[in-house]
Copies of this chain bind each other. A is one copy, B any other.
């Protein structure tokens, strides 16, 4: 009977597609949608979610690129396996291959330092600083002047905020600059690896199952946050103590059933839900198809130059995986846009907005702003098209390093507060890490083959897209003579010293004169390109400044228009904390096919081939065969649920987000979207957008039955 309900709710979905829950709301928007939150099933007071320093939001933290949550008063942090995998890899050796075997610290003393640069950010305070940021603006300013004024205001706010040592502050724009917020976050720098199941659990299905449902990935792992004995942020040190979070999440062993209320809090990276038609068309008709060609060529070049089994291939595995991942995403984007008729729907939306604006003369200002915004967008798209192949032609890693080093020397001639973001003192830790990291992923032959491929496409472009300074410095003529150019590039790689890490690090202290007299070919090229780069940056800042006049007006129109229809317009994702809510829900990705909302342990048995990425641990297979579900069985599916689907609204950056039930207890971790959801970055299609979560019952089952992580099970508060 339960089962019948399970499927009948899928059915309702098929019948009433508008069921799914679009919206990545900022916490302060929640009171506006309190009624729907309660109607959907939230049992907490919606207002409680708006306080980022209270339960449950106080427990939700950022890893920078991923989301995580505190699950014990001793600073235990749960997030996705794929968010901590770099740290597992960093600590792995041939003798102790934690990727293959998993890692579990049975005591705190056994914990390992996370990979360099790992951070935990605890949001402490969010203030609306729109007035401060925009105070110095006036209508007569050029785009460039506006950009500078806003930039200066933001830097000044950040500086004041970060005067409180151990904190990291930011001033992100919302609604394209309609609103600015100052976000103050505690920066925890001593992050340690506590527990990560083996790849055969945490990365089960690997790249093949990436974005795929049905899914059986145990994408969870644990860090622990450490601070100095006085409670302040500190680098790794033996005497550091576990951080005591203000709030933690209880972990549910009861979990969810089909149709239950669910919400997730996390840091989604970027969406384009309000992009104008022209931006959509430029992206889907030009940019994405160009990227597809680029990715296909790039992948083929790496595969040919770094054959399987070679040392070079090992260094490029991660880049290849990234390029393939992006390519798969592009295919999904393009296919999704076709399926939902993105262009047609955007046209319709803009027509409706135009009608609403035209209905009231006081809205005429919106119309002007939108017209000008479209002109500006077209200008930006043109610049993007013109620069696309030049940008590719300057991708070689050592050229990138040279350009950043030269820029650093130039920025250092200014006072810190005037320096470009990314080159201030507060950025130097990450800058140095960037300079150090290159060697692990660099092979001169592959880098050169990539460059040659990029140059070939660059040189096939019309004259208007060629950059004279670049052509002159590299001695590029009208035609691409592969042999000649290849020989020329060889001299770059044979003569450069930048492939050496210590050389690069030392050059972080060099002044402009030193770098300008460098005979290193990549540094000379960086110098030759500098003026061009700066000019392009100037133009970009000017467009950006002009956009801060127009886009806020466009977004205000959207907000007012939506409000007139009874909706709350949420801002596009910008890596700040958001809340999405909805229900556990299967779906129908295409005619004739239905996704069930849960997968089961038995699905692992059926998928398992014994070969990576479908090589579950033997012990796990035996436990499943024996039907040893422990306390974690979901009766309606007759097994332990492994992963589940919801209609939540998520994107990259949401990885690791706490998935909570109506009471704010942890019931899972958000870790992926289905392939049919990829296009939701542009247009949320309620019929097909589904988010994938790992179920806490599976997490607890693995911890108890497979990995014996009793210490962590005892440390967390597990509820039913």
Contacts and interface: CB of A to CB of B under 8 A. Distances in A.
Interface of A: 3-4, 7-8, 10-11, 14-15, 213-216, 338-339, 590-596, 598-600, 602-603, 606-607, 609, 643
Contacts of A607: 590-591
A14 B596 CA distance: 12
Top-7 shortest CB links A-B: A214-B592, A591-B603, A592-B599, A594-B594, A592-B596, A7-B7, A214-B593
A594 to B, nearest CB: 4
Contact of A214 (B7, B10, B590, B598): B590
B11 A592 contact: no
A303 to B, nearest CB: 15
A338 B214 CA distance: 19
A267 to B, nearest CB: 28
Contacts of A593: 213-214, 593-596
A259 to B, nearest CB: 15
Contacts of A3: 11, 14-15
Nearest to A599: B592
A3 B11 CA distance: 8
Contacts of A591: 214, 216, 596, 599-600, 602-603, 606-607
Nearest to A601: B591
A649 B607 CA distance: 24
Nearest to A638: B15
Contact of A606 (B11, B213, B339, B596): B339
Contact of A596 (B213, B339, B594): B594
Given A7-B8, A214-B591, A592-B595, 13 more contacts: A7-B594, A214-B593, A216-B591, A590-B606, A591-B600, A591-B603, A591-B607, A592-B596, A592-B598, A592-B643, A593-B594, A593-B595, A593-B596
6 contacts: A7-B10, A7-B594, A591-B596, A591-B602, A591-B606, A594-B594
A214 to B, nearest CB: 3
Contacts of A10: 7
A173 B609 CA distance: 38
Contacts of A592: 213-215, 595-596, 598-600, 603, 643
A590 B215 CA distance: 11
Nearest to A340: B606
Nearest to A338: B609
Nearest to A591: B603
Nearest to A604: B591
Nearest to A602: B591
Contacts of A4: 8, 11
A410 to B, nearest CB: 49
Contacts of A339: 606
A683 to B, nearest CB: 15
